[in-house]
Amino acid sequence: MSHSLQVKLTRVVPLVAAMVLSAIAVHAQNNPYHVAEGWPQLPAGIKWEGVISVDSDARGNIWVFHRSEPTILEFDPSGKLIKSFGTGMFVQAHGMTIDRDGNIWVTDAQNKDGKGQQVFKLSPEGKVLMTLGKAGVAKEGPDTFNGPTDVVVAPNGDIFVSDGHVANANGRIVKFSKDGKFIKAWGKKGSGPGEMDVPHSIAMDSRGRLFVADRANSRIQIFDQDGKFIDQWKQFGRPSGVYIDKNDTIYVADSQSNATQNRGFKRGIYIGSAKDGKVTAMIPFVEPDPDKNNNAGMEGVTADAAGNVYVGETTTMTLKKYVKGKS
């Protein structure tokens, strides 16, 4: 290949890549959803604070992890509160997932007064079944965390925790056996393949691949369960939350893209395929106070079997349900 041709290709390839991402972003503005008004019905005495995580269980009930008391709430499909618990347990509510047995896994991302920096496995009634990490200890180690953001559980019971939501932390993924024994960890601070900067959420597709919301790098990184880097996707915005349903539809919450940070993308929920990375829809985040310009809107995201999308908003402190069709 001639030098002149190499130079031309060097100039053209980034341009083509940028055009492709731009086309994807434009296509993603298709929004077939609208808000379900009046959902959920929040009882008197309970007030939303930062709604950081949300997940659905096999019965279609919706579980919410937020930063007020009680911290964990369960709603039925109609939006009625079924139960709540977790008062006094956590320093900073962060990640949540429901495993195949209906147990609730949550992460506590900060530490104070001898609490925090742990991952909890809870029964649907709120009983603590397992803890990972040492209460109140912020440290990157085989049995300690330094800002655990989220957790996902494999079909064989192996546990994966995204860790590193504190200043100057190494972004990493920590793998444990089903009984909580440390297996391995991978990742370090950086922007190269396998490196991370604020791994903010983690999900698993039907093939067992791990999708990590590498937020400060404005990308999703995909790994196998041994930590081998597979791919990176930037077409889903600057990800704060990731959820993948049983059909491998992927829902990604972008809470931070703006004119100076990840330009070309808007904040909202990007929806597409975990199989090929194609973005098919986008639910935009509507800033209630544009002059305030909150830097964290939609962060928690899940969907039920009917395809309804549930979104937790942090700084705007609310939970919303989106359904397809005209309002």
> Does 167 map to a domain?
yes
Residue 3 phi, psi dihedral angles, 5° rounding: -60, -40
The CA–CA distances, whole Å, from 19 to 42, 87, 192, 271 equal 45, 49, 22, 20
**24 found inside a domain:** no
Cite the beta strand spans of 215-263 per DSSP E.
219-223, 229-233, 239-244, 249-254
H-helix or E-strand containing 159? Answer: strand 159-163
pLDDT on residue 111: 97
pTM above 0.75, yes or no: yes
Q: What is the pLDDT of residues 224-245, one digit of tens each?
A: 999 999 999 999 999 999 999 9
Burial of 37: CB neighbours in 10 Å, binned 0-12, 13-18, 19+:
exposed
**Separation of alpha carbons 312 and 219, rounded Å:** 20
Q: Examine residue 14 and state whether it is found in any structural domain, yes or no.
A: no
Residue at 4 is within a domain = no
Report the alpha-carbon distance of residue 50 to residue 296 in Å, rounded. 10
Number of domains observed in the structure of the chain: 1
Per-residue confidence band for 287, with pLDDT thresholds at 50, 70 and 90: confident
Residue linked to tokens 């009983």: 127
pLDDT of residue 293: 57
- What angle is formed at CA 309 by the lines to CA 245 and CA 92, rounded to 5 degrees? 90
Residue 11 domain-assigned?
Answer: no
Residues in CB range of 228: below 8 A, 6 or more apart: none
- Of all residues in the chain, what percent carry a pLDDT higher than 90? 83
Average confidence (pLDDT) over 175-197: 97
What are the tens digits of pLDDT across the range 244-263?
999 999 999 999 998 889 99
Angle, CA of 160, 163 and 169, to the nearest 5°: 155
Residue 3 lies inside a defined structural domain of this protein = no
| Residue 299 belongs to a domain | yes
User: Could you tell me if residue 22 is inside a domain?
Assistant: no
Any idea what the CATH number is for the domain that residue 255 is in?
A: 2.120.10.30
> CA of 140: how far to CAs of 96, 162, 246, 296, 300, in Å?
21, 12, 32, 26, 25
Please provide residue 21's backbone torsions phi and psi, each rounded to the nearest 5 degrees.
Answer: -65, -40
pLDDT at 168: 81
Helix ranges restricted to H, the chain: 3-27
Range of the domain at 202: 31-324
3-state class (DSSP) for residue 21: helix
